[in-house]
Amino acid sequence: MARAVWSGALSFGLVALPVQLFTATESHTIRFNQLQRGTSDRVRNKRVNERTGEEVPMEEIVKGFDMGDEYVVVEPDELDEIAPGQSKSMEITGFVDLDQVEPVFFDKTYYLAPKGKEYAKVYALLHSALAQANKVGIATVVMRNREYLVAVKAEGDVLAMHTMHWADEVRDPHREIGSLPEETQVADKELQTAVQLVEALSIDWDPEEYHDTYQEKVLQLVEAKRTGQTVEKGEPPPRSTNVIDLMDALRASVEQAETTRKASGEEPQKAAPASPPTRLKTAAESRADRTVGRAAKSSKASELERLSKAELYQRASDAEIPGRSSMTRGELIRALTGKSSRRKARAS
């Protein structure tokens, strides 16, 4: 079970809710040790005096702020004395429409949980109110001697807290990027075709469909080098579209997307007609459905991972998957897994 990284009181108005904060995400980054080429000797980083070249122990290191012509030295104790401390309160000072908060402001996500079962009603009340109003609560909180601007919002069946960047931390793209287009005219026909392409490529959001393919390729490279085998190189980047050929490229893209949908048996997404209200699935039922789906996909993917690229291509041919001739091994596996999932969905 995860350990809380912060605990305190979340308040809005005169209502206070004791909560605990848990990290919502984890990194699966592959890490390498540094070795000297031709040996298995580890290479270590050391803190050295750049003038003398001698190693400096941690207790002799202080912080210095560069003023240009001199350093202002600050001791660690001096920073602790002025730090805001380990605040135990998170007061929501206002609620804003979720659509008003630009994604660039969001940083890291945490889950909020009531500190005890006796606070479940207040927790559920705030969650339901935020979900129904489609708003987020804006607050500040102090963690690890740093003050954060945060947004509290309803996500699924839990309350989540997103740390946010302060306004002066977000760069102005027009000032930072010199190549942004200005007042570029777009022809109506090109725009209509581009919208048609967007509609043709529209899908339902399923995060389980996406995974870190680069990490997989790194692990394949490591295993291949360990066993003396070779690995196929990555695909070259696509060529830039010439402005003269833009309309032709758009039309061809729309045709390709529609052909792919027809081959896979999918229909273009359309607005659903009004229907009588049905019972909403509970959070537990939704999680169970996702778990069953993930397990089926994982089992199918594990079976396909054992096949060679030639065997995968043959299966793709049998399944009449379009574009299979130009697919990499990983893309063939994902295409076959998706094909299997769609067949089961249609059969049910």
- Tally the domains of the chain: 2
Does the residue 234 lie in any domain?
A: no
Does residue 68 lie within any of the structural domains?
A: no
If asked whether residues 126 and 216 sit together in one domain, one would say no
Closest CA to 315 of 283, 339, 290: 339
Is 49 a member of any domain?
A: no
At residue 271, the pLDDT reads: 44
Containing structural domain, residue 161: 6-25+83-169
Whether residue 132 is found in the same domain as residue 12: yes
221 and 118 part of one domain = no
φ, ψ dihedrals at 162, nearest 5°: -105, 120
Contact 153, 98 (CB under 8 A): yes
Q: Give pLDDT tens digits for 14-24.
A: 899 999 999 99
In this predicted structure, what is the pLDDT of residue 240?
A: 64
* Residue 42 DSSP label: B
**Amino acid 341: pLDDT:** 47
Asked if residue 177 lies in contact with residue 117, where contact means CB atoms within 8 angstroms, the answer is no
Alpha carbon dihedral 306, 311, 314, 318, in 10-degree steps, equals -30
* pLDDT, tens only, 239-290: 766 655 777 888 888 888 888 777 776 665 554 444 343 343 444 454 555 5
The whole-number pLDDT of residue 307 equals 78
Mark whether 150 and 289 lie in a shared domain.
no
DSSP code, position 245: G
- Looking at residue 301, what is its pLDDT? 65
Residues 89 and 151 occupy one common structural domain: yes
Distance in Å from the first CA to the final CA of the chain: 36
Residues 88 and 154 placed together within one structural domain of the fold: yes
Residue at 321 is within a domain: yes
Tokens matching residue 153: 């919002």
Q: Is residue 305 a contact partner of residue 333, using CB atoms and an 8 Å limit?
A: yes
Summarize the confidence of residues 72-96 as an average pLDDT: 83
For residue 63, being part of any structural domain is answered with no
* Mean pLDDT over the full length of the chain: 81
- The answer to whether the beta carbons of residues 80 and 120 sit under 8 Å apart is no
- 13 shares its domain with 147: yes
283, 157 in Cβ contact below 8 A?
Answer: yes
Please return the burial class of 346, using the count of CB atoms within 10 Å of its CB with bins 0-12, 13-18 and 19+: exposed
Instruction: Identify whether the C-beta of residue 154 lies closer than 8 Å to the C-beta of residue 95.
Output: no
Residues 291 and 150 in one domain: no
Percent of the chain with pLDDT over 90: 37
Residues 147, 104 share a domain? yes
Is residue 340 located within the same domain as residue 288? yes
Residue 143, in any domain of the structure: yes
For residue range 162-179, list pLDDT tens digits in order: 999 999 999 998 888 888
Q: Specify whether 111 is located in the same domain as 139.
A: yes
Are residues 216 and 160 part of one domain?
no
The CATH number given to whatever domain includes residue 159 is 2.40.290.10
pLDDT tens string 175-227: 888 888 777 888 888 899 999 888 888 888 888 888 888 888 888 888 888 88
d(CA 111, CA 113): 7
pTM above 0.75, yes or no: no
Q: DSSP state, 35? A: B
User: CB neighbours of 280 closer than 8 A, spacing ≥ 6?
Assistant: none
